[in-house]
Structure 1
Amino acid sequence: MTVYLAHAPADRDAAEALEKVIERRGQFVELDDGQVALRPIQASDVFVLLVSQALLFATARLRLEQRALDAWADGRLILVKLDNGIAPVGLRDLPAIDASFEAQREFKWNEVADAIREKVRASLPEPPESRGGGVAGRVQSKIRTEFDDDGRPNWWLRLALLVPGVWALVVSGAIWLANRIGPTPGGLRELRQGVDAYGVRNGLPQGATEWVFVGAVVLMLLVIVTSIAKLSKRRAAPSEASEVEAPASAPPPAQTDTVFVSYARANQSDVLPVIDGAAKAGRKFWLDQNGVNAGDGWAGEIVRAIRAARGVVVMCSKAAFESDHVKREIYLADRYAKKLVPVFIEQAEPPEDFEYFFAGVQALKLFETPEAERPEALVRVLG
């Protein structure tokens, strides 16, 4: 699992400060300023984007924005605001942790680390033994809490539990060697007497030290065995996870003849008459007239509609190019390899991030078509 900490080059100091806090929590962090192409976001990764004025003017902004949308689509994105700068279109209405006040940043960095931990925990499969109730389930849950941090062994606690056993072996070995030196070497009885005398000198009752040493050694062996078992399990986790999760993954929705319509709510009065006219000619459309919350769009009705659609019509306008919803819908269309049809309902120049998706796609300038002929023109361009 990797935490990608994306930032503008000018925000390197803030990124490194946050990196230290996250690494203290036991997470592996990789800084990403967009200058070097890194591997795609994996199912177990978390992508943290530092939003600032410098980000808007960064030369690699489009690459960072693309990776952020990838993470958003999989529920792996955390936004952090460093100042009053505006996030890129498509990310502006998403929730963000406000770290713009420098005096509170240490507190905010811990809030980011907590958010990362929650993302990681959400991605981990529930252990079978935790699904049952009763005392055994609570005890096993307690052991996992003490021994694991986001699925990783807590080595500090394990080392602490090893110390008594190691000390018992060292003391017993020293007494054994001392008994073996001399003209009359001692045996097991002399070793037990020496261990008991050592305990009495250190305040333990007579006869108790031997059992304390045995318990410490047994605990040490248990810690070693469980640590080896956990390491073996973690190494085998990727293949096992794929075998378990594959049958549970939901199949993609069946392809339909419906065309998804992406548009800005401000253009509703211009868009709906064209869509209604094209629908009367026999075409099927899906468009959201109620609005979808930013937190629901990627996982709910919108994403299912785009995945099932045969194509996506983008009603392009100045308002559409400023719409977070439109940007995310275009991104999802590209992610699911849907045919994009840009339809300009007014004269508007696409920003460079929209041009990326429209590259090589034939656009329809509907605003140049007489109003009565616009539904027919839309039907023709859809084929």
Structure 2
Amino acid sequence: MRQIYLLSMEADSAAADEIETLLHQRGYMVRRAEEKFAFPPARRQEVTLALWSHAAQFSSKQILFTNRAIDAWTEGRLIFARLDHTLLPRGLSDIEAIDLSFAPARIASVWKIVEAAQAIDRAAELKPSEEAGGGSDDGFSRDEESGSAAATAEKPVRRFASGPAWIVGLVAACAFVSMGFLSMPHASNLLVGLAALVWGVVAGVLAGYLAGARTEDLPEAAEDPRPAPRRSAEARSAPTAPDMAPAHGQSAPVFVSYSRHNGEIVYPLVAEVEAAGRAVWIDRQAIEAGGNWAGMIVRAIRDADTFCLMCSAEAFQSDNVRREIYIADKYKRKLLPVRLDSAEMPEDFEYFLIDRQWLDLTGIAPEERASRLTALLVR
């Protein structure tokens, strides 16, 4: 694969040129964007190297830069590097960053980029084999499989149906024997029998092949016309996240994004919604940013129909919340912002929530808050 997309600002072009040259020397193909208004999406099997800097932090495209980096992170294909010691952006401040701030040491530091890219490529190579064995459940959509692999998996295999073959063969043999005696009364019985046997075998093989092909074309679900139940996000997450709230039999739960600092407020609200029969996906235990966090969250948000964001000063400072709202916007989920306090909404959150209908709980009595939220989520 050995393909890297270099995500950087125009003001950092000198550093980007240097890093691109170093990567070329190590056998990598490097792609850079020249767009003025947006960054292009990642290509398949392409690693994104994001170069964060003071110029990026104060650029008018800072939100677009961060969103593009988060998009690569959700796919497990992000390498984050810093060109100086500017504070990392919200949503990525807990991601390990390669330090490229000391320019004379970049020749040595670029090996860290190469090692990270190789690790990502190795993980991508192992992923299909794990899925084939049923041992992987990382949450990424299976429609991301390559077209050739999908075509191979869906190609029907024709089987030979022996029952129709024997029946047609015997009937054909008898017919040929009868015709032989009628049309060739002076022919040898042995020759007539052999000819009938040969033609009977040919007819039987052809009938068995055609019957097997027709049988293969029938849907496998014909034996049981009832559709298989669709597992909820909680059910699929159970092996790796036993702390998630159980589903209530609904296929599209509500995903609740919040800061655990607000747990005392959020948990009673969620309990009321669940008691009313609405399925809820909520992380009641801190999930580390590494490991399977990306796959688990992407899967849960993708399978939900509503993204309920519990807005507060703590939530606005959370990297996890920032990533979750980006994923919800990416999959076009219905966004329901719920205001828990009067904290001012940052610009990067306003980017997603400015035109959404809000539920403001700050002016509502505590005992009425749960019913207000339930009324919106349970209909």
**Aligned-partner residue type, residue 330 of structure 1:** I
DSSP 3-state at the match of 1:86:
coil
Distance 1:329 1:246 in 2: 34
Distance 2:375 2:300 in 1: 22
Give the structure-2-normalised TM-score: 0.65
- Count residues in correspondence: 272
DSSP 3-state at the match of 2:277:
coil
* Structure 2 partner of 1:108: 109
* Structure 2 partner of 1:228: none
Cα 1:18–1:358 shift into 2, 3 Å:
same
Correspondence 1:357 to 2:352: yes
Distance 2:154 2:309 in 1: 34
1:173-212 paired onto structure 2 within 5 Å? none
How far the C-alpha of 1:22 sits from its partner, in A, is: 0.8
Cα 1:253–1:72 shift into 2, 3 Å:
farther
Distance 1:280 1:126 in 2: 39
Distance 2:151 2:67 in 1: 30
Partners of 1:6 and 1:47 within 8 A in 2? yes
Runs of at least 5 residues in structure 1 that lack an aligned partner in the other structure: 129-237
**Aligned-partner residue type, residue 301 of structure 1:** M
Distance 2:5 2:271 in 1: 45
Cα 1:319–1:285 shift into 2, 3 Å:
same
1:75-114 paired onto structure 2 within 5 Å? 75-114=76-115
**Aligned-partner residue type, residue 336 of structure 1:** Y
Distance 1:246 1:103 in 2: 53
* Structure 1 partner of 2:275: 280
* Structure 2 partner of 1:22: 23
Distance 1:126 1:56 in 2: 34
How far the C-alpha of 1:261 sits from its partner, in A, is: 0.9
* Structure 1 partner of 2:55: 54
Runs of at least 5 residues in structure 2 that lack an aligned partner in the other structure: 130-145, 156-229, 233-249
Residue from 297, 309, 320 that aligns with 2:315: 320
Distance 1:317 1:58 in 2: 26
* Structure 2 partner of 1:118: 119
Correspondence 1:368 to 2:363: yes
Which structure is higher in helix share? Answer: 1
* Structure 2 partner of 1:377: 372
Partners of 1:311 and 1:339 within 8 A in 2? yes
How far the C-alpha of 1:246 sits from its partner, in A, is: 8.1
Cα 1:339–1:126 shift into 2, 3 Å:
closer
* Structure 2 partner of 1:180: none
Partners of 2:82 and 2:101 within 8 A in 1? yes
Correspondence 1:342 to 2:342: no
Partners of 2:8 and 2:50 within 8 A in 1? yes
Distance 2:356 2:123 in 1: 38
Cα 1:365–1:120 shift into 2, 3 Å:
same
Cα 1:90–1:117 shift into 2, 3 Å:
same
Partners of 1:45 and 1:76 within 8 A in 2? yes
1:251-270 paired onto structure 2 within 5 Å? 256-270=251-265
Residue from 290, 297, 313 that aligns with 1:295: 290
Distance 2:31 2:8 in 1: 11
Partners of 1:311 and 1:340 within 8 A in 2? yes
Give the % identical residues.
39
Give the structure-1-normalised TM-score: 0.64
